[in-house]
Amino acid sequence: RKEVEQDPGPFNVPEGATVAFNCTYSNSASQSFFWYRQDCRKEPKLLMSVYSSGNEDGRFTAQLNRASQYISLLIRDSKLSDSATYLCVVTISSNTGKLIFGQGTTLQVKP
Amino acid sequence: DTAVSQTPKYLVTQMGNDKSIKCEQNLGHDTMYWYKQDSKKFLKIMFSYNNKELIINETVPNRFSPKSPDKAHLNLHINSLELGDSAVYFCASSLPGQRNEKLFFGSGTQLSVL
């Protein structure tokens, strides 16, 4: 079983749609959780951290369910510019700096 | 202006050759990393250095040797290149004291071994 699993997609949605991505992780000792965004042929960039209480940044909402070892990302009112691959990222220890990346979920927003 | 810069951007070479990828960051970060992204898009950590000291060394063939002359540089040397080494290699650095928070990635080096 992969340490971090995501549905690779692609998810094809029209502009303005709401879309949700899920991610599961296998290690119950995981401590920190993030969503990164990677545009085609570019480097990954941090989109947002995921906190236990859930957090929101504009049109983006991240949720964490430790009991189910599950993370989600919700994007409201999708824009063309949201088209990218969204990477779920987990860390086990706060001291090693070792981030474990999921395969990513590809989103294509169509006009 | 570039925060994390790596060179070259593209590297095409023959099997058996030795090549290096250079990485430099001007953010003042203590920790630097090498990640490999294969054709299936999985990003996997290879090495991590903190202030020139190796702290993470994943199961990577001995043909890969990182070198950190100072905390702003982390180079990757690869000996006897194989077809399976073809991938995109990303250098990254992170904020002091917050190794698990924001990683700043370089733009990647696409390595093609023929």
Hey, are the CB atoms on A43 and B105 less than 8 Å from each other? yes
Q: Report the pLDDT value the prediction gives residue B84, as an integer from 0 to 100.
A: 93
- Which residue type, as a one-letter code, is found at position A93? S
Token pair listed for B67: 């070198």
Residue ranges in A1-111 assigned as alpha helix (H): none
Q: B20, B29, B3, B1: which is closest to B107 by C-alpha?
A: B3
Classify A44 as helix, strand or coil.
Answer: strand
Each residue of A11-62: pLDDT tens digit? 999 999 999 999 999 988 888 899 999 999 899 999 999 988 889 999 999 9
Is the Cβ of A92 closer than 8 Å to some Cβ of chain B? no
Q: Residues of chain B whose pLDDT is less than 70?
A: 1-2, 96-101
What secondary structure letter does DSSP report for A77?
S
Model confidence pLDDT, tens digit, residues A49-99: 998 888 999 999 999 999 999 999 999 999 999 999 999 999 876 556 678
Mutate to test the interface with B, among A7, A43, A103 (most CBs of B within 10 A): A43
The closest CB to that of B43, out of A8, A45, A101, belongs to A101
Q: Are A72 and A62 in contact (CB under 8 A)?
A: yes
Q: Is A44 on the interface with B (CB under 8 A)?
A: yes
Lay out the sheet containing B4-7: strands in order across. B4-7, B19-25, B73-78, B64-70
Judging contacts by C-beta atoms under 8 Å, the chain A residues touching residue B32 are none
